[in-house]
A and B are shown apart, each in its own frame.
Chain A
Amino acid sequence: MRISNFLLTTSLLMGLSSLSMVAQAADNAISLTSRAQLEVEVVGKDGKKTLQRTPVEKAVPASEVIYTTTFQNRIDKPVGHIVINNPIPNNSEYQADSAFGKDCEILFSVDGGKSFAAVAQLKVKGDDGKERMALPGDYTHIRWIYLGQLMAGQSGEVGFRTAIK
């Protein structure tokens, strides 16, 4: 009896522990890394101008900032239903048509992230109280819905541009 009780307890504990490990692994399945960059024109030795991205060190009103978020599957199983949300940063205005994300459906919110829709469906109330099409400056959040599953070890990038108000 004692031996069987011991075995039962041990196997239960092991079971719980493995469940916990699965949960822990799932919690860390997707890593999300964001960065903000500026695009600067660099003249090479051959006199050719190229655009290079640098971390935001100097930024004044009207500067354009590129936000990029990398998401990566860190476990050995596929991950599905990946939805990334990002608010338009404070004191910033979304730049039209700048959102990008391969294999993603991109939606926007004009109500602080409560609801999302495609650009053509977004409407807001104008100063005159009448409904009008939303402008990029009205957007408050962006949502990327990753289409399909992200396989083990795979990663993707989503992002957008803003101008500092």
Chain B
Amino acid sequence: MVSSGWWGRLCWCLGLLVFVSQPVWSIGTTAGTMVTNVATVNYLVGPSPPITATSNTVSFRVDEIIQPVLTWQDATPIAVTTPGSNAVLTFLLTNGGNGSEAFGLTRTNGPAPLPSGNYTPLNGSIGSIYLESGALSGFQGSGPNADPLYVAGSSDPTLAPNTNITIYVISNTPSVANNLQGDVLLGAAALTVGVAGALPGTALPGLGQGGGFAVVGSARAQADATGSYITSGLGLVMNKTVLKVRDARGTGVVMPGAEISYQIVATLSGAGTASNLALIDPLPALTTYVPGSMVVDGLVQTDAADTDPAQFIAATQTVSVSLGNVAAPATVVIVFRATIN
């Protein structure tokens, strides 16, 4: 059990930095809190002055209810190539109880009964389950912001009440036909001894946070959610054209100093969702980017890496648009300007 804390909580789990986000809702009184009550009475006896007396103190401890909630976060099945490797499903595990709790995670590929026409995904070749580190949102398999691999028994996430953690399930795809769905069931089970799977209302003395009962919640102190892949001929076509050329004389002639408006139309075809779709376009040689000229789907973008999807990376002279998960079919139009040196 870790001590409770709330905002932007970072939780070290056996050397792995695991990110636990801000509270998601208010579950209530923290387990272990003492509730006390004393009543007071005032009265008169004959002509004597008013007299005050108090009752005995009534008190009890609030026990811990254990109630994880797990949800699959991708809106639609993630498109995968077949055969393919290391496609990412995203889940969110929330501690809906009122005490800190550690959870064990398990995955089941192609949970039974397997619907007709479904395929069974395989564990990812880089690992099976990862935990969001909090350094950079979205799955990072490597690099300075790499998310840690989940290892049962040694990096089980511990969540304070009302906090959550993003979990990535990584899968390889066997060689199967297109347009087939493959499911993975992710399960989370509270690790307090004896609670996972027990009947709702089961109370284990002394095992709750603060020394009270650990009480099994309505979902038997465990939670699961199914995420899906779809094998797909998902295709991305990027078509870059020059919209117009503007030079000082207004002749439209390409010459040093002339400003060129480029348009990139990215068309995503097929079925499913392209995860973490990023469109990157290095500037043509001998051109200079016109600051603040990026427009994505009609919306003006800033050049900085901030809340809008676009940025201009000066170090690599690259226009970059990170669109996250995009469900096919979809079209994205990017416009920017550059001057000829």
- Decide whether A and B are members of one complex: yes
Contact of B56 with A by CB under 8 A:
yes
On whether the beta carbons of B46 and A91 are closer than 8 Å, the reply is no
Contact of A71 with B by CB under 8 A:
yes
Partner of B37, one of A23, A27, A86, A164: A86
Partner of A59, one of B39, B42, B45, B63: B63
Interface size class of A (residues with CB under 8 A): 35 or more
Contacts of B55 in A (CB 8 A): 32-34, 69
On whether the beta carbons of A35 and B41 are closer than 8 Å, the reply is no
Query: Looking across the interface, which residue of chain B has its beta carbon closest to that of A70?
Result: B55
Stretch at the interface among B27-35, B226-234, B236-244: B27-35
Q: Total A-B pairs in contact (CB under 8 Å)? A: 123
Give the total of B residues in contact with A, Cβ under 8 Å: 38
On whether the beta carbons of B62 and A164 are closer than 8 Å, the reply is yes
Contacts of B28 in A (CB 8 A): 61-62, 91, 164-165
On whether the beta carbons of A164 and B48 are closer than 8 Å, the reply is no
Measured between alpha carbons, how far is A62 from B62 in the docked complex, in Å? 10
Query: Looking across the interface, which residue of chain B has its beta carbon closest to that of A142?
Result: B39
Q: A34-B38, A87-B37, A89-B36 are in contact. Are A58 and B213 (CB under 8 A)?
A: yes
Query: Looking across the interface, which residue of chain A has its beta carbon closest to that of B161?
Result: A61
Within 8 A of B (CB), among A70-127: 71, 75, 77, 79-87, 89-92
On whether the beta carbons of B39 and A69 are closer than 8 Å, the reply is yes
Contact of A3 with B by CB under 8 A:
no
Contacts of A58 in B (CB 8 A): 63, 203, 212-213, 215
Contact of B50 with A by CB under 8 A:
yes
Q: A59-B60, A60-B98 are in contact. Are A86 and B29 (CB under 8 A)?
A: no
CB 8 Å contact bits of A29-44 with B (1 = contact, 0 = none): 1111111100000000
Partner of B48, one of A26, A34, A60, A92: A26
Contacts of A57 in B (CB 8 A): 60
Contact of B251 with A by CB under 8 A:
no
Measured between alpha carbons, how far is A77 from B41 in the docked complex, in Å? 17
Contacts of A34 in B (CB 8 A): 37-39, 55-58
On whether the beta carbons of B42 and A92 are closer than 8 Å, the reply is no
Contact of B53 with A by CB under 8 A:
yes
Contacts of A1 in B (CB 8 A): none
Contact of B160 with A by CB under 8 A:
no
On whether the beta carbons of B53 and A32 are closer than 8 Å, the reply is yes
CB 8 Å contact bits of B58-70 with A (1 = contact, 0 = none): 1111111100000
On whether the beta carbons of A30 and B43 are closer than 8 Å, the reply is yes
Measured between alpha carbons, how far is A59 from B203 in the docked complex, in Å? 10
On whether the beta carbons of B213 and A29 are closer than 8 Å, the reply is no
Contacts of B42 in A (CB 8 A): 81-83, 85
Measured between alpha carbons, how far is A34 from B39 in the docked complex, in Å? 7
On whether the beta carbons of B43 and A61 are closer than 8 Å, the reply is no
Measured between alpha carbons, how far is A80 from B41 in the docked complex, in Å? 11
Most chain A CB atoms below 10 A, which of B29, B64, B65, B215: B29
Contact of B307 with A by CB under 8 A:
no
Contacts of A91 in B (CB 8 A): 28-29, 33, 35, 62
Contacts of B62 in A (CB 8 A): 59-61, 91, 164
Contact of B40 with A by CB under 8 A:
yes
Contacts of B35 in A (CB 8 A): 36, 59, 65, 89-92, 164
Q: A60-B62, A61-B29 are in contact. Are A90 and B36 (CB under 8 A)?
A: yes
Measured between alpha carbons, how far is A32 from B53 in the docked complex, in Å? 7
Contacts of A89 in B (CB 8 A): 35-37, 58
Partner of B45, one of A65, A75, A90, A164: A75
Measured between alpha carbons, how far is A80 from B61 in the docked complex, in Å? 36
Contact of B3 with A by CB under 8 A:
no
Partner of A85, one of B39, B51, B65: B39
On whether the beta carbons of A79 and B44 are closer than 8 Å, the reply is yes
7 sample A-B contacts, Cβ–Cβ < 8 Å, listed by A number: A58-B215, A61-B62, A62-B28, A71-B41, A85-B39, A87-B37, A165-B28
Binding site for B on A (CB under 8 A): 22-23, 25-36, 56-62, 65, 67, 69, 71, 75, 77, 79-87, 89-92, 164-165
Binding site for A on B (CB under 8 A): 27-29, 31, 33, 35-46, 48, 50-51, 53-65, 98, 203, 212-213, 215
Given contacts A30-B43, A33-B55, 5 further A-B contacts (CB under 8 A): A61-B27, A67-B37, A71-B41, A80-B45, A82-B42
